[in-house]
Structure 1
Amino acid sequence: MSEGRNRIGRRGFLGASAVLAASLPGIPATASAATPRPKADTTLRWWGNNSWEIRLPGGKVVLIDPWLTRFKTGTYSKEGADPDTRIEVDRRLIDGLVDSGELRADHILVTHGHYDHITDVPYLAEKTGATVIGTETHLSLLLALGAPEDQLAIATGGEFHTFDGYAIRVLRSLHSASGDRAKVAFAGTRPLSRRDRPRVISDLLEGGTLAYQVRSPSGFSVLNFGGSNYVESELAGLRPDVLLLPAGGDRVAEYVPRLLRTLGFPPYVVPTHWDDFDFPLDEPARDWGGLARLRDAVTAASPGSAFRVVDHREMFEP
């Protein structure tokens, strides 16, 4: 580790705990039954961290933040992650999953540029031919890491795209902040014109954060946040059927109850970004410390929402 550079722990990315405050007085913590929910025609699979596979009718597949290599960083250790940890891509692992047909993608959605979200995306894009969506910084990093340029689509938030019956809504969002000064780890941006190759995890800048809602042909929707923060005004009118909610959020006022109220108390809340990724995907997920607090916060704020925990590579069918 270079002298003078501090290690970054998971609390530097997601915060130490979820805010446990219940909903505001006078506002019921239940969703309205007036509007019927669309048909559940979507299957989800969790590949650890914030890596999600969304299988849609017609065989279409959307991946969010796919990171399968999970090289060791020490992020959850007492010392935190060493910013000089070398970036690695386990091509043999990815080849096996893609070549066998177990994993494929039509779209890959990047929430932000940190190592545990973006490292495997260039090679997965090359292997699958998927279209990748991200900010200018994300695309700059992806190009520098070898992603096919013609498969990259820039987004700033606010886009609403339709593809073969399913839709992807891109939302402006925020990354988690930590410490007394509420700082974002590995913050910064880089232009598309910059092509120097990232070598260590601190080279992978946050680069702006996006959230995504994926909607099936029936209207069934899944909303994902890559960090435990959000822009509340971006979410007005959204009523996702499944909310993929990161653990953490201790620096966000009323993180859980405010979000669930804004989204109309989703029927399903599935935790994401709660496992210690220093351990491989072929082992059961290990809680870094935020799962129980997140569960308690969701139960207090929205007792009508089903809190469903899935394990590594496990399917979830709402």
Structure 2
Amino acid sequence: MRLMLKKVLLALMVMVLATAAALAVILNSHPDMDAYQALNSPTAPPATPLKVRFLGVATVVLDDGETAIMTDGFFSRPGKLKSLAGRVGPDMDGITRGLARAGVTKLAAVIPVHSHYDHAMDSPEVAKRTGAMLVGSASTANIGRGWKLPESQIRIARLNEPMQFGRFTVTLLASRHSPTGFTGGTIDKPLVPPVRAFDYKEGQSFAVLVQHEGRSLLIYGSAGFEPGALAAVSADVVMLGVGGLGSRDAAFRDSYWREVVTAVKAKRVIPIHWDDFWVPSTGPMKPMPAPLDHFDVTMTFLRERGAKEGIDIRLPAQWDAMDPWQGLGAK
């Protein structure tokens, strides 16, 4: 009997180890991007007056040579095991490398699109280093307070209220996170890391409308939407968060496109938040692996809808400056 029990336990251990090994392989197998090279945005010429850099997830920098603003500012990218089973906090060296790689030394504002760790965790430290105002929800403000960011550098934004940073006009609009098990919740007191990744609750999600001397860009960091929230908004270009979109059904993808892209009359869509945020930011970005998302499904959907409605689809340049409005005609 004991021998039989030992054999059963050994068989179970082998099965568990085999399953874990197979899962590890799957979660480290990323979709190939070679098929989408024709969609890559070109690097902006040096004389481009307003440059935009995509730094991964929903971190975007806009710089007109006088003023620079950033969404999120996420550079730490803790690994899978730490994110899912351990505690996370800002990686000071990772932030140093990220800011240096992006050429960022001074910012007027850092604006997390919501308060999950892969958006807002590093934002207070980025604000400290660059002198920026941390702008966001009450939950984001509590992340800043937990990091001892001075109150003078924390601003709780109001929906639909334009804010001026140099020649940038920034308006935060109502949005929602993609419907997942992590959606919702608020951070109601200062959050002091290291904490569990799930302690970074969503708070208010924002769509970030940036206007600059006749140009308009909507940074939409999550693949969820607030019905009708963008009905009165116009934006030539949408940097569209597509994280998890490939795992949604066709009806959801259609609604998302209609409520965001069609609503603002966009001429170009640049997908963001498709990259695996457990991969260090020192190398090239890789799409999130299946079964966590389905990048090819997302790209097929975007290309088909873009072709049908005459909307240009481009992948963002990675870390390099680009001109999202290039080729769209006069301002």
Letter in 2 for 1:151: Q
* Residue of 69, 72, 75 corresponding to 2:79: 72
- What is the CA–CA distance in structure 2 between the aligned matches of 1:290 and 1:239, rounded to whole Å? 29
CA contact (8 A) 2:211 2:217 kept: yes
TM-score normalised according to structure 2 size: 0.73
User: Which amino acid is 2:185 matched to?
Assistant: G
For 1:1-318, list aligned pairs within 5 A: 41-56=49-64, 58-73=65-80, 82=84, 84-95=85-96, 98=99, 102-103=103-104, 104-178=106-180, 184-185=181-182, 187-191=184-188, 194-198=189-193, 199-216=195-212, 218-247=213-242, 248-249=244-245, 250=248, 252=252, 254=254, 255-264=256-265, 266-288=266-288, 289-303=293-307, 304-318=310-324
Identical counterparts, % of pairs: 24
Q: CA deviation at 1:158?
A: 1.6
Q: 3-state DSSP class of the match of 1:234?
A: coil
8 Å Cα contact 1:283-1:312 kept in structure 2: no
The answer to whether the 8 Å contact 1:160/1:169 transfers is yes
Quote the offset at 1:253 in angstroms.
Answer: 5.8
Q: Which runs of 5+ in 2 are unaligned?
A: 1-47, 325-331
SS of 2:219's partner is strand
After superposition, give the CA deviation of every residue in 1:244-287 in whole Å (9 maximum; x if it has no partner): 111133263622244322111x2221111001122122221111
> Whose RCO is larger (CA < 8 A, sep 6+)?
1
How far did residue 132 of structure 1 move?
1.3
What is the alpha-carbon distance in structure 2 between the residues aligned to residue 196 and residue 101 of structure 1?
27
Contact 1:168–1:212 (CA under 8 A) maintained in structure 2: yes
Question: Are the equivalent residues in 2 in contact too, given 1:271–1:291 (CA < 8 A)?
Answer: no
Unpaired segments ≥5 residues, structure 1: 1-39, 76-80, 179-183
The whole-number CA distance in structure 2 between the counterparts of 1:173 and 1:41 is: 29
Distance 1:177 1:101, change over 3 A: closer
Over 3 Å counting, the alpha-carbon distance change for 1:309 and 1:101 in structure 2 is closer
User: C-alpha separation between the residues in 2 aligned to 1:238 and 1:290?
Assistant: 29
Matches of 2:298 and 2:277, distance apart in 1: 18
1:317 partner SS: coil
CA distance in 1: counterparts of 2:253 and 2:221, whole angstroms:
18
> 2:108 touches 2:165 (CA, 8 Å); kept in 1?
no
Measure how far apart 1:90 and its partner are: 2.3
> For residues 228-253 of structure 1, what are the alpha-carbon distances to aligned partners after superposition, in whole Å with 9 as ceiling and x for unaligned?
01224221232212211111332636
Give a deviation string over 1:269-308, Cα, whole Å, max 9, x none.
1111001122122221111144332332222223222211
Higher helix share: 2
Shift of 1:208: 1.8
Runs (4+) of structure 1 exceeding 6 A deviation are none
Task: Quote how far apart the aligned CAs of 1:187 are.
Answer: 3.0
User: In structure 2, what is the Cα distance between the partners aligned to 1:276 and 1:190?
Assistant: 25
- One-letter amino acid matched to 1:45: R
Query: What does residue 21 of structure 1 align with?
Result: none
One-letter amino acid of the structure 1 residue matched with residue 306 of structure 2: S
C-alpha distance after superposition, 1:139-167 (max 9, x if no partner): 11221123222111102422111232220
| Displacement of 1:211 | 1.2
Return the index of the structure with the highest Cα Rg. 2
Q: Secondary structure at the match of 1:170?
A: strand
Taking the aligned partners of 1:298 and 1:223, their CA distance within structure 2 comes to 17
Instruction: Supply the distance in 2 between the matched residues of 1:196 and 1:235 (Cα, whole angstroms).
Output: 31
For 1:276 and 1:196, locate their aligned partners in 2 and report how far apart those are by CA, in whole Å.
25
Matching residue of 2:6? none
SS at match of 1:169: strand
- Alpha-carbon distance in 2 for matches of 1:246, 1:239: 17
State the alpha-carbon separation in 2 of the partners of residues 186 and 262 from structure 1: 24
Amino acid at match of 1:282: T
Q: How far apart are 1:99 and its partner, in Å?
A: 6.9
Structure 1 pair 244/305, CA: closer, same or farther in 2 (3 Å)?
A: same
Q: SS in structure 2 opposite 1:233?
A: coil
Q: Conserved in 1, the CA contact under 8 Å of 2:75 and 2:95?
A: yes
Instruction: Judge conservation of contact 2:230–2:259 (CA < 8 Å) in 1.
Output: no
Structure 1's 276 and 220: CA in aligned 2 closer, same or farther, altered over 3 A? same
What secondary structure is seen at the aligned counterpart in 2 of 1:157? Answer: coil
Quote how far apart the aligned CAs of 1:74 are: 5.1
